[in-house]
């Protein structure tokens, strides 16, 4: 039989298909149980929007503060010797604020790994060691960058272990 | 417009409004309204799940998954498109994702398909048309592409995106599906 007959026969069968079917068992009971503890859809959507924008706002504020601090010190070289430790303190306190904001934000959200706080503490120790080294070598830019890097690793760690997308397949 | 046309138009506007009210109630967390929405759309959702999975049990589980995830997603529905169209896309995506999770990696890697088992099950079902029986016998990827393109009207670009495959692969799977159907329908 011809190809044209097949195409028209197929089209006719497709057009006559009944697209709706009903399941043989009641599915609603299971759905109702699964949704028993779920918040209202609008609340969930609102929370998702907040979750997706809050880290960006915190990151932007942190970046702005960092740029402002560095600019201030680079525009005032006369104060450099006296203020390198101030720069380290400013970076540390600004990082602490950012870290605290994230920890508060995620406090009710389960983490994906159990040892993330241990990792966070290890990074804290690393930051303290770098700060101690900076006290003895105040103009060492490599150490300053290492400190920034450790701070960023802490932020990334907190976000990563609380990020919903890691729970999706 | 004649009187009959006006009546049809008024009925349609009323249905749209009551559906908008229903969706709005669901978005605010009304579970009774959600049950009504479920009863309205379970036929559409299960029908699509069944065509995509070709397995009654998988289709039931996938339909439940759709309505569980729909509760979480419906807050994002802004009414820019028809609800049934939006739900259709949500259903397709969730079912494909559900199938991916259900099928073992080994099975998919080696492209082992239980199409004959599906066909046997479909053959026992009395409410299926001849075409549906043949479609259920298609290999999984070919079946999904055929259902989405030929029955549900998706473009190959959209299917490729949903199934994480190249557009050319979607077209090739569709061609394969048609060749098999042609043979099984006695045209070759």
pLDDT classification of B37: cutoffs 50, 70, 90:
very high
Interior/surface letters B13-50, b for 16+ CB within 10 angstroms, e for the rest: eeeeeebeebbebbbebbbebbeebbeebbebbbbbbb
Task: Give the residue from B64, B96, B147 with the most A CB atoms within 10 Å of its CB, the best one to mutate.
Answer: B64
Cα dihedral across residues A63, A67, A69, A70: positive or negative: positive
On whether residue A44 sits in a domain, the answer given is no
A163: containing domain: 51-167
A27 against A95, higher pLDDT = A27
Q: Which range is least confidently modeled, A113-122, B36-45, B56-65? A: A113-122
Instruction: Provide the 8-state DSSP code for B147.
Output: I
On whether residue A25 sits in a domain, the answer given is no
The C-alpha atoms of residue B59 and residue B94 are separated, in whole angstroms, by 11
Query: Do B131 and A1 lie within an 8 Å CB cutoff?
Result: no
Q: Which range is least confidently modeled, A32-36, A109-113, B59-63, B118-122? A: B118-122
Judge if ipTM > 0.90. Answer: no
Q: What is the pLDDT of residue B108?
A: 47
Residue A132 burial by CB count (10 A; 0-12/13-18/19+): exposed, middle or buried?
exposed
Query: Do A27 and B68 lie within an 8 Å CB cutoff?
Result: no
pLDDT classification of B105: cutoffs 50, 70, 90:
very low
Residue A9: count other Cβ atoms within 10 Å of its Cβ. Answer: 17
The C-alpha atoms of residue B59 and residue B103 are separated, in whole angstroms, by 13
Mean pLDDT over B46-73 rounds to 93
Q: Where in chain B is the domain with CATH 1.10.10.10?
A: 105-188
Task: Give the residue from B47, B75, B88 with the most A CB atoms within 10 Å of its CB, the best one to mutate.
Answer: B75
Q: Where in chain B is the domain with CATH 1.10.1740.10?
A: 1-102
On whether residue A39 sits in a domain, the answer given is no
**Residue B69 near residue B95 (C-beta atoms within 8 A):** no
Q: Which of A62-71, B9-18, B32-41 tops mean pLDDT? A: B32-41
The number of folded domains in chain A is 1
pLDDT, tens digit (0-9, with 9 covering 90-100), for A91-119:
888 888 888 888 887 777 777 777 788 88
Task: Give the residue from B91, B131, B164, B183 with the most A CB atoms within 10 Å of its CB, the best one to mutate.
Answer: B131
On whether residue A150 sits in a domain, the answer given is yes
The C-alpha atoms of residue B123 and residue B133 are separated, in whole angstroms, by 6
Within 8 A of B181 by CB-CB distance, chain A residues are: 10
On whether residue A27 sits in a domain, the answer given is no
The C-alpha atoms of residue B110 and residue B113 are separated, in whole angstroms, by 9
How does DSSP assign chain A, residue by residue? --HHHHHHHHHHHHHT-------SS--HHHHHHHTTTPPPHHHHHHHHHHHHHHHHHHHHHHHHHHHHHHHHHHH-GGGHHHHHHHHHHHHHHHHHHHHHHHHHHTTTSPPS-SSHHHHHHHHHHHHHHHHHHHHHSTT-HHHHHHHHHHHHHHHHHHHHHH-GGGG--
Mean pLDDT over B97-111 rounds to 63
Within 8 A of B39 by CB-CB distance, chain A residues are: 28
Query: Do B56 and A24 lie within an 8 Å CB cutoff?
Result: yes
On whether residue A41 sits in a domain, the answer given is no
Tokens read off for B63? 């339909």
Within 8 A of A13 by CB-CB distance, chain B residues are: 129-131
Query: Do B42 and A1 lie within an 8 Å CB cutoff?
Result: no
- Domain B1-102 belongs to what topology? Rna Polymerase Sigma Factor; Chain: A (1.10.1740)
Q: B105-188: which CATH architecture?
A: Orthogonal Bundle (1.10)
Mean pLDDT of the residues in chain A: 78
CA distances to A27, A81, A84 from A139, rounded to whole Å, are: 68, 8, 7
């Amino acid at each position: 039989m011809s190809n044209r007959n097949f195409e028209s026969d197929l089209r006719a069968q497709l057009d006559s298909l009944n697209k709706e079917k009903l399941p043989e068992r009641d599915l609603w009971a299971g759905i109702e149980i699964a949704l028993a503890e779920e918040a209202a859809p609008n609340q969930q959507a609102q929370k998702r929007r907040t979750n997706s924008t809050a880290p960006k706002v915190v990151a932007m504020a942190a970046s702005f503060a960092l740029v402002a601090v560095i600019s201030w010190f680079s525009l005032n070289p006369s104060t450099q010797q006296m203020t390198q430790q101030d720069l380290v303190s400013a970076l540390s306190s600004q990082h602490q604020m950012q870290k605290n904001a994230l920890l508060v934000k995620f406090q009710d959200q389960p983490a994906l790994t159990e040892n993330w706080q241990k990792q966070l503490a290890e990074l804290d120790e690393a930051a303290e060691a770098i700060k101690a080294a900076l006290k003895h070598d105040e103009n060492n830019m490599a150490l300053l960058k290492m400190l920034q890097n450790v701070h960023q690793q802490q932020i990334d760690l907190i976000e990563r272990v609380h990020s919903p997308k890691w729970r999706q397949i | 417009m004649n009187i009959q046309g006006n009546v049809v138009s008024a009925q349609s506007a009323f249905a749209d409004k009551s559906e908008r009210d229903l969706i709005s109630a669901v978005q605010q967390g009304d579970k009774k309204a959600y049950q009504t929405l479920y009863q309205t759309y379970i036929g559409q959702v299960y029908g699509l799940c069944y065509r995509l999975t070709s397995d009654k049990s998988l289709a039931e589980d996938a339909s439940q998954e759709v309505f569980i995830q729909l509760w979480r997603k419906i807050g994002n529905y802004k009414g820019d498109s028809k609800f049934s169209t939006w739900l259709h896309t949500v259903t397709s995506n969730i079912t494909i994702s559900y199938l991916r999770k259900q099928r073992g990696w080994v099975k998919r890697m080696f492209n082992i398909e239980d199409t004959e088992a599906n066909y046997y099950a479909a053959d026992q079902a009395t409410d299926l048309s001849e075409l549906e029986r043949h479609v259920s016998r298609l290999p999984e990827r070919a079946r999904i592409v055929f259902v989405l393109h030929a029955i549900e009207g998706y473009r190959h670009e959209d299917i490729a995106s949903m199934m994480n495959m190249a557009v050319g692969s979607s077209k090739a799977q569709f061609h394969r599906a048609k060749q098999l159907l042609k043979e099984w329908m006695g045209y070759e």
